Amino acid sequence: MIYVIATLAIKPGTLADVTVAVGPCIEATRNEAGCLSYDLNQSLTDENTLVFVEKWKSRADLDQHFKQPHMVEWREKGAQYIDGRNIEIIDAADVEIL
């Protein structure tokens, strides 16, 4: 199992635009082979911080996700709204769960 935590810093005042731009990508991604969950969350303490929390069956499924047309489109449309990002990819085999 692969987990992805992708934190985005968006430009102030662009949340509504980001939501419109990313909507089709979220819908299409949830239908991809190997996608177990794909959610976008907003920070409770910083309205300009968004976090994707993703769960994939395998790294191969995740790698295919990055190549999908809806991901390419989201990257192109979303770039104008994003000030920074941090992406963490976690292999469940290396994570201790208590």
Q: What is the per-residue pLDDT for 98?
A: 56
3 state SS of 69: helix
Q: What is the per-residue pLDDT for 92?
A: 79
- Structural domain for 21, as ranges: 2-94
**Helix, strand, coil abundance in the chain, percent, nearest 5:** 40, 35, 20
Q: What is the per-residue pLDDT for 71?
A: 96
Record the pTM: 0.88
Per-block average pLDDT, block size 10, for the chain (98 residues)? 96 96 97 97 97 96 96 95 95 70
Q: What is the per-residue pLDDT for 77?
A: 94
When divided into structural domains, the chain yields a total of 1
Q: What is the per-residue pLDDT for 4?
A: 96
CATH code of the domain covering residue 73: 3.30.70.100
